[in-house]
Chain A
């Protein structure tokens, strides 16, 4: 306690600053549920009263449900594809040394450092130039480019703590390469793989620009929401949908975090054991 009071004396503003910063971060997110339960079509204070009618209206909205289904299909495909590609690259980078490693990793990570609209425009041009019809498949291919860097950074940090001597021991004891991967490598890196799946799914679910350019006539959920935002009267319904998505994202993230911590504890235990 004395340590804390000492800290507070040195930096009296810091706790107040942290509190204000977190208010700034969370205010916009906390407003979504507030107005989605408000019995008025406008989003102004004072609040008019409690209602769940905006949520009820979601259930009967077939266009929205179709968009949600599209998003789910895209999200699952993107998370699987980008995690598989991420595993290859992360394993190559953490396990082997080879020429051109930095250049290859740089290209794979480049989408993080590019304006998204330029990635979207260039993909649109190549897709149309090749005469491919825009569909959910083009969205999946495009979002995967964008998600691989995230998958890779999650996986690289998961693979880095991996002790190579475990694998060597397995080889020495006569296990095959596939058997070693399944029985030694996979159990250790599994939490990182699950984190990568969840993170890329969450990104895909929320991704707008690439889906907007590449989805053609099949909208994903964000593209559907974008269409609704033009109509002021539909805003509370959109906010209700947003609240549902918010809760889903937070659940997924919490799950990812729990898995990550469990994995961390397990590696720590492995190191402390004799």
Chain B
């Protein structure tokens, strides 16, 4: 885009106009953003294009055959093992994002409406856990949910169970709990920002005109905070679908997700084109699911209103 703009510039006949453009807002803005933009273009956009290209090629040992084929996608979509992994990954990321948003909303609401002068302190406390080592946080959940872990010893000492539960760790529930914990702050912050933007006099007006607290919340606060809910939802759902560490550490056999399969294609004895096709399919599926949920959310909120 930058290149196109400069290309257009070369065509302008008069050098006076050219100099004027060079001094204009637009030229300066473009010039200033171009280092960052080109960096992202070279190390994000281009690599993603290469992944897409690879997904239509095939690999024979070390040689890449560049004839167009849909074979990788056929494998990715029809082989039962990949199909199960896709379904489970989408299901887990959908559950995680919904649970995270639902449980975080009251916290964001509390900070925004009842945080008083200490709003920033509350936000700081919310974000601290999310900056500590990701690997060790996941590991810590393994310690909590494990056979002799905190949860089991706690429940036994309270007399609720006789012997340790084995159903806590190494399944998809453990993955969901751990991911909800990891992404909590990412959901609270966007919701908080959209709650802060709400004009409080609107809520007062609704109350004065006879709405109950709950009704005023449903008709004013909730619809106006929808943009925050949607970005919280997207920022949690899309990255969690490709999480690698959590399923590996706490997922066991029943919690394996698609990232493990993608990683396997890039290890030894690899199949890059298949790995690329799995990556692209993941992106497409998660985008479609997210779009469907966002539409459903918008529709529901409009109905409530």
Contacts and interface: CB of A to CB of B under 8 A. Distances in A.
Q: Which of B5, B128, B241, B283 has the most CB of A within 10 A?
A: B128
Given A113-B235, A123-B47, A253-B128, A108 B36 contact: yes
Interface in A76-118: 85-86, 88-89, 91-93, 95-101, 103-104, 107-108, 110-118
B140 A124 contact: no
B156 to A, nearest CB: 10
Interface string B119-135: 01000111111011111
Contacts of A110: 40, 44
Given A10-B213, A225-B136, A249-B132, A115 B241 contact: yes
A98 B28 CA distance: 9
Interface in A198-252: 202-203, 206, 208-209, 213, 222, 225-226, 229, 235, 238-239, 242, 245-246, 249-250
A99 to B, nearest CB: 7
Contacts of B143: 28, 31, 35, 43
A18 interface: yes
A184 B117 CA distance: 31
Interface stretch (B70-78, B219-227, B271-279): B271-279
A148 B36 contact: yes
A32 B40 CA distance: 37
A32 B43 contact: no
Nearest to B149: A44
A111 B48 CA distance: 11
Contacts of B266: 121, 124, 213
A121 B238 contact: no
A156 interface: no
Contacts of B126: 25
A95 B153 CA distance: 58
B215 interface: no
Contact of B48 (A91, A113, A122): A122
Interface string B28-66: 111011111101110111111011001000000000000
Interface in A3-54: 7, 10, 14, 17-18, 21-22, 24-29, 31-32, 35, 42-46
Contacts of B29: 92, 95-98, 101
B181 A24 contact: yes
A117 B242 contact: yes
B135 A225 contact: yes
A242 B51 contact: no
A144 interface: yes
B120 A261 contact: yes
B117 to A, nearest CB: 12
B229 interface: no
Summarize B's interface: helix, strand, loop or mixed: helix
Contact of B140 (A22, A31, A148, A222): A31
A55 to B, nearest CB: 15
A225 B113 CA distance: 41
Contact of A85 (B36, B134, B135, B184): B36
Nearest to B283: A118
A126 interface: yes
B44 A27 contact: no
Contacts of B2: 100, 104
B32 A21 contact: no
A141 B39 CA distance: 9
B244 interface: yes
A88 B244 contact: no
B245 A126 contact: no
Given A28-B141, A242-B136, A209 B44 contact: no
Given A96-B25, A238-B136, A122 B51 contact: yes
A1 interface: no
A107 B259 contact: no
A124 B266 CA distance: 9
Interface of B: 1-2, 5, 25-30, 32-37, 39-41, 43-48, 50-51, 54, 103, 106-107, 110, 114, 120, 124-129, 131-137, 139-141, 143-144, 146, 148-150, 153, 181, 184, 213, 234-235, 238-245, 249, 259, 262-263, 266, 272, 275-276, 279, 282-283, 286
8 contacts: A22-B125, A96-B28, A96-B29, A118-B48, A118-B242, A126-B50, A246-B132, A250-B131
Given A25-B181, A222-B135, 10 more contacts: A24-B181, A31-B144, A96-B29, A113-B234, A115-B238, A115-B241, A118-B51, A141-B43, A225-B133, A226-B135
What 8 pairs between A and B have smallest CB-CB spacing?
A115-B242, A96-B29, A44-B148, A122-B47, A28-B140, A92-B33, A98-B29, A92-B32
